[in-house]
Amino acid sequence: MATTVGVRRYEETHPWLTFKLDLNRLSHRTWMLLGEAQSKCEHIAGVPLRPEIAKQLMAVYLSKGAHGTTSIEGNTLSEGEVMRRVEGDLDLPVSREYLGQEIDNIVEAYNGTVRRILKGEPVRVTPEHLLGHHAMILRGQPRKPDVEPGQFRNHSVGVANYRGAPAEDIPYLLNRLCSWLSNDFTVSDEHSDMHWALNVMKALMAHLYIAWIHPFGDGNGRVSRMLEFEFLVQAGVPLPACHVLSDHYNRTREAYYAALARTSREDGYPVEVFIQYAIQGFVDELREQLSLVRDHQMDVTWQNYVHDVYRDQDTPARRRQRHIALDLPIDEPTPRAKLRVLSARVAAEYAGKTSKTVARDLNELTRAGLVIRTPRGILPNRDLIRAFLAARAEPPEAAPTPGS
């Protein structure tokens, strides 16, 4: 293809690389989702959890992020295997060790980013910064032709029907991208309430433009999502929530690739399509994460309530009853015959006791309203603490769409 004098080749082959984002073109729905995302992030960041639960939540979502970003690229380890690898409990045979090494690389990159940002070091996006991520991500991976870890490509490359930007324009494009991300996503003190949303936009644009430019022979998706993660951490998104977008992209892989493809054509959709897809997924996953946090909070509130019921009642019978109320599973009724072996401590407390003791304890727990008897067994009466939630009417159902 002949190139017009004074015009870079990418301007003819990739005209969507404009390095512009018109926030006025975002739909009202996208702005509402951004507001909800910020609110949910504030809730997640502001809820105190027991240390072991906070550690577990972080490990779960670190694993989800590492699994999501590598699974998209073909890593065949399951989410459970990735969790074990993150915890240092997954040894793989030599033939599959590279899969585990890829997880190690991603986790090391995540953790390094978090350490630097929490120490107050801002993300300084430069071409060298991107090369460092690339070298780390591809460390110990099977070598592919024309792919060198930590080096930009000098040949044409593509994924499916998409071709990356011309190799000769990569240095120019990356310098321009780094300058755009560093300088154009700032707000004045007068509009400081836009800071969070603008930083999330910066994270999404960094992801999108690396995917579009495709500066590497391999590893572009992982680098783009790593850069997105960095900007989310810097924006103040709580760490467990910084991993949910990679999980979302993996869960909705077909829609992910479709959104990338639709926005990377001369006659294609504007970037707002990708932004709304990403923010909708972000909110959906934050809702899921917040639900887990609330479950843990309900558990703490239930434990406090049970202890309050038996305050200053430290007899053997009251201890047994308290332990039954605390140890009963919430998702499945416990048959009465299995009540005395509900847990190790309950079994020890019933050693040498007759079934009459179990019956008396169960009657006391029922009288106190702490358990519910069902035909299938016994359940903890957690509806007691749900009564502590603020009362509200059920919102009206949405009106049907005309013609539906």
Q: What is the pLDDT of residues 50-100, one digit of tens each?
A: 899 999 999 999 999 999 999 999 999 999 999 999 999 999 999 999 999
CA angle 393, 394, 397 (to 5 degrees): 140
Torsion angle defined by CA atoms of residues 52, 56, 58 and 64, in that order, rounded to the nearest 10 degrees: 180
- Range with top average pLDDT, 185-199, 253-267, 290-304, 387-401: 290-304
User: Does pLDDT of 2 surpass 70?
Assistant: no
Provide the residue type at 333 as one letter.
Answer: P
Q: Which parts of 119-252 fold into alpha helices (H)?
A: 127-137, 170-183, 195-213, 220-235, 239-242, 244-251
Whether the CB-CB separation of 207 and 231 falls below 8 Å is answered with: no
Pairing between β-strand 162-163 and β-strand 158-159 as defined by DSSP bridges:
antiparallel
Find all residues with CB under 8 Å of 287, minimum gap 6, and list them.
Answer: 40
What integer is the mean pLDDT of 154-169?
A: 88
Q: How far is CA 236 from the centre of its chain?
A: 14
**For residue 80, how many other CB atoms are within 10 A of its CB?**
11
User: What tokens appear for 141 in the block?
Assistant: 């991976």
* 158 DSSP β-pair partners: 163
Q: Tell which residue, 276, 291, 222, has the closest CA to residue 250.
A: 222
The pTM of this model reads 0.88
Whole-Å CA distances, 170 to 166, 202, 214:
7, 20, 9
User: What tokens appear for 115 in the block?
Assistant: 């350490």
Pairing between β-strand 371-374 and β-strand 377-380 as defined by DSSP bridges:
antiparallel
CA angle 381, 385, 388 (to 5 degrees): 150
Confidence of residue 4 (pLDDT cuts 50, 70, 90): low
Q: How far is CA 385 from the centre of its chain?
A: 29
Burial 261-278 (b: 16+ CB within 10 A, else e): eebbeeeeeebbebbbbb
Work out the mean pLDDT of the chain and round it to a whole number. Answer: 91
Rg, Å, the chain Cα set: 27
User: Does pLDDT of 5 surpass 70?
Assistant: no
Backbone angles phi, psi at 269, to 5 degrees: -80, 155
Q: Tell which residue, 367, 375, 296, 295, has the closest CA to residue 325.
A: 367
Can you tell me the distance from the alpha carbon of 17 to that of 8, in angstroms, rounded to the nearest whole number?
A: 12
Whether the CB-CB separation of 149 and 134 falls below 8 Å is answered with: yes
User: Does pLDDT of 399 surpass 50?
Assistant: yes
What integer is the mean pLDDT of 21-45?
A: 94
DSSP letter at 192 equals G
Q: 3-state DSSP call for residue 334?
A: strand
The number of residues in the chain equals 404
Q: How confident is the model at residue 373, as a pLDDT?
A: 94
Confidence of residue 393 (pLDDT cuts 50, 70, 90): confident
Can you tell me the distance from the alpha carbon of 7 to that of 10, in angstroms, rounded to the nearest whole number?
A: 8
Q: How confident is the model at residue 404, as a pLDDT?
A: 45
User: What tokens appear for 236 in the block?
Assistant: 């103040």
Whether the CB-CB separation of 169 and 156 falls below 8 Å is answered with: no
Exposure of 364 in the CB half-sphere (CA atoms within 13 A): 17
Q: How confident is the model at residue 266, as a pLDDT?
A: 75
Give me the DSSP letters along 376-393. TEEEE-THHHHTTSPP-P
User: What tokens appear for 188 in the block?
Assistant: 């004045």
Confidence of residue 262 (pLDDT cuts 50, 70, 90): confident
Domains delineated in the chain:
21-289 (1.10.3290.10), 310-386 (1.10.10.10)
Q: Tell which residue, 252, 314, 310, has the closest CA to residue 282.
A: 252
Helix, strand, coil percentages (3-state) for the chain, rounded to 5, are: 60, 5, 35
